[in-house]
Amino acid sequence: MPVDETQAAQFDIAIHLDRSTLVLTVSGELDMRTAPALDSAISKGALTAPAALVVDLAKVTFVASAAMTVLTVAQNKFGDTLQFAVVADGPATSRPIRLMGLDQVFSLYEDLPTALAALDSPS
Measure the CA–CA gap between 52 and 21, rounded to whole angstroms. Answer: 5
Contact partners, residue 71, CB within 8 Å, separation at least 6: 55, 86, 97, 102, 106
User: How many CA atoms, within 13 angstroms, populate the side-chain half-sphere of residue 121?
Assistant: 7
Confidence (pTM): 0.90
What is the set of domains in the chain, with CATH numbers?
A: 13-120 (3.30.750.24)
pLDDT value of residue 86:
97
pLDDT value of residue 27:
96
In Å, how far are 53, 74, 123 from 120, measured between CA atoms? 12, 20, 9
Average pLDDT per block of 10 residues along the chain, 123 residues long: 52 94 96 96 94 96 96 94 94 95 96 94 60
